[in-house]
Structure 1
Amino acid sequence: MAGNSQRRGAMRKPGTKKGAVVGSGGQRRKGLEGKGPTPPASMRPNHPAKKRADAARRQEAARQQRARAAGNQPETIAGRNPVAECLRAGVPATALYVALGIDADDRVRDAVGLAAERGISVLEVARTELDKITQGALHQGLALQVPPFDYAHPDDLLTAAEETGRPPLLVALDGVTDPRNLGAVIRSAAAFGAHGVVIPQRRSAGMTAVAWRTSAGTAARIPVAMATNLTRTLKDWAKQGLMVVGLDADGSVELDDLSLATDPLVIVVGSEGRGLSRLVRENCDATVSIPMAAGVESLNASVAAGVLLAEVARRRRLR
């Protein structure tokens, strides 16, 4: 085989020929083939949208790391229906995670639209990454990051109530562990003019996304405080002139005879099962029962609280 050298008799070893060859070797055909759909801007290397998305992911990861270090980690809501409901209810959120290649239905479109309106970061992530974020929950390609709730101090509730010029009306929950009951009580408290809700630090439901959703967003309009010791907080409020009334099936007074309704008042709602704890009951000025038809043992904690709050509001309007 002749080589490419000008020297006489120069030879090239087989398989080492350089330079142009006969034909294109299929390169032209490959060049004419389509390369598939253009990827989203947030996935194109060096595109400004991808840089912004990467920066948002880094910021969110750093925020989660700070939260873990502080022992107060945000909550992740998984699933199309729960995420859409939380956003409609105005639940505060820091990020909406959407899986890449998701089959967008009305719930996904609504969630993305609501998040964009509220300035919540919308982050496209791989499904494997979303699995890690939701810790293996059934996310259906959608997850919402909810920050830890910012609780008020119990003293702030009384201060805010006194500034309204109306007799204070506060609600305390004693061992209510169902976040749906907590959210429902907050909703009733806001509807009937209460100035705040307080929960104990231990053995109580907290302001999770479930409670937020059940409250229909009213938790953003009424302060919720956390007490280190609920009994001590009730004693402090009693010293400042508030009457403490506990809900109890065997109450010392029936709802129809609650003359304390127009006074500065704290309504205490007991747990779903055992009701008021012993120490809390001992610090109540009165316990009130709700008259019911024969054969009905008791009402749900949140329903009972709503009935009592409605009666207090009615008496205050007629005052």
Structure 2
Amino acid sequence: MSTRVVSSPPSRPSSPSEPRHDRSASSMTPTRSEMRWTRPGSRWRTSLMAPAGYGSRVEGIHAVSAAVRAGRVKRLTVERNRRSRDEIAVLIAAVGDDSVTFVDDARSVAESDAPQGVIAECAPILPVDLDTLASEDAAVVVLDHLEDPHNVGAIARTAAAAGVTGLVMSGRRSAPLSAAAFKAAAGGLESLPVSIVGSIPEALSRLKSKGVWCVGLDAGGESSLFGLGILTEPVALVVGAEGDGLSQLTRKRCDLVASIPMVGESESLNASVSAALGIFEIMRARI
């Protein structure tokens, strides 16, 4: 059954060989802002090159279990009175007793609010180059400076479950991929490719130059996201920050801005809920 188009999308190329956006060499050259560090001492390098890794500290049973399965865990810190619990006993057996430190209260050394008695020191995950996400079947989620690591983690969890091809986020003025984000992701960040960039608007321009449609998600969007025809093509769903939504420049770089139809009294949805609805609408359109 064909997909119903709610509104007219931007014009498409006349043939597969004709690029929709400029593919000139100059448009693919990283800008100066993409080549510098975000701030002195930061491990988040805002570059399209290979920045420092993320996920070196993971907390919570589900997140640590996923890191163990991925072979990243180097050492565990376990709350002593929880060591015999089945889920934690399995983790201890997986890494070996010599790689476990026992403490009276894991919360005293945790970064997240509720580490569930287990903390892992891990080999970091390296971000991917943005260009690798611009595939023919691209379904990318772009986070426009979200500040709550729980929202970032929840979106990553949904994206991984739905089969999203990658996540794009800024290395500055955004929640880092911290222990709290990994806990909220419940393993989703272990398998989901992530590109960390210096500028979200510049990243959108780069994706567009590779033939990816960039669709902003905003309550005031001019189109309904549901039934949007271009969702079957390479697409990036751009999610705005909590409270402020999409930045002005990010909005301008989007091919179009779409909204999630609502008939109730609420005027907006939480960022992670909006992202989840958008992600699964993309997947529904491709079934």
Aligned to 1:209: 179
Q: Is the 8 A contact 1:89 1:213 kept in 2?
A: no
CA deviation digits over 1:157-177, x for unaligned, max 9? 22xx34xxxx32111000111
Alignment of 1:302 with 2:272, yes or no, is: yes
Stretches of structure 1 that go unaligned for 5 or more consecutive residues are 1-68
SS in structure 2 of the partner of residue 273 of structure 1 = coil
Give, in whole Å, the separation in 2 of the partners of 1:202 and 1:170: 20
- The alignment partner of 2:73 has SS state of coil
Cα offset for 1:181? 1.2
Structure 1 146/288 Cα, relative in aligned 2: closer, same or farther at 3 Å? same
Secondary structure in 2 aligned to 1:144? strand
Q: Distance in 1 between matches of 2:233 and 2:126?
A: 29
Q: Name the residue aligned to 1:122.
A: 99
Rg comparison, structure with higher value? 1
On the 8 A contact 2:214/2:236 being kept in 1, the answer is yes
Among 201, 220, 224, the alignment partner of 2:190 is: 220
Structure 2 counterparts to residues 271-310 of structure 1, below 5 A: 271-310=241-280
**1:150 counterpart letter in structure 2:** L
Q: Pick closer, same or farther for the CA change 1:225–1:176 going to 2, 3 Å.
A: same
Specify whether residues 83 and 193 from structure 1 end up closer, same or farther in structure 2 by C-alpha distance, changes over 3 A only.
closer
**For residues 76 and 257 of structure 1, what CA distance do their matches in structure 2 show?**
40
What residue is the counterpart of 1:179 in the other structure?
149
Larger helix fraction of residues: 1
Match of 1:156 in 2: 132
Name stretches of at least 5 consecutive residues in structure 2 with no aligned partner.
1-40, 44-51
Report SS of the residue matched to 2:163.
coil
Structure 2 Cα separation of the partners of residues 89 and 171 of structure 1 = 22
Matched, 1:94 2:74: yes
Cross-structure match for 2:211 = 241
State how 1:32-181 maps to structure 2 within 5 Å.
71=43, 83-90=60-67, 92-98=72-78, 102-104=80-82, 106-107=84-85, 110-118=87-95, 122-124=99-101, 143-158=119-134, 161-162=135-136, 167-181=137-151
Instruction: Using the aligned pairs only, state the percent identity.
Output: 33
Native 8 Å contact 2:145 2:170 kept in 1: yes
Alpha-carbon displacement from aligned partner over 1:187-224 (angstroms, at most 9, x marks no partner): 22223332101101111122222222222212222201
SS state at 2:242 partner? coil
Partner of 1:253: 223
Distance 2:174 2:283 in 1: 26
Which stretch of the first structure deviates more once superposed, 88-97 or 118-127? 118-127
Equivalence for 1:196: 166
Letter in 1 for 2:261: P
1:24-39 matches, within 5 Å, as none
- Cα pair 1:171 1:267 within 8 Å, conserved: yes
**Deviation of 1:119 (Å):** 5.9
In the TM superposition, what is the alpha-carbon distance from 1:89 to its structure 2 partner?
A: 4.3
Structure 1 CA distance for aligned equivalents of residues 82 and 169 of structure 2 = 39
Residue 263 of structure 1, CA deviation = 1.8
Structure of higher RCO (CA pairs closer than 8 Å, 6+ residues apart): 2
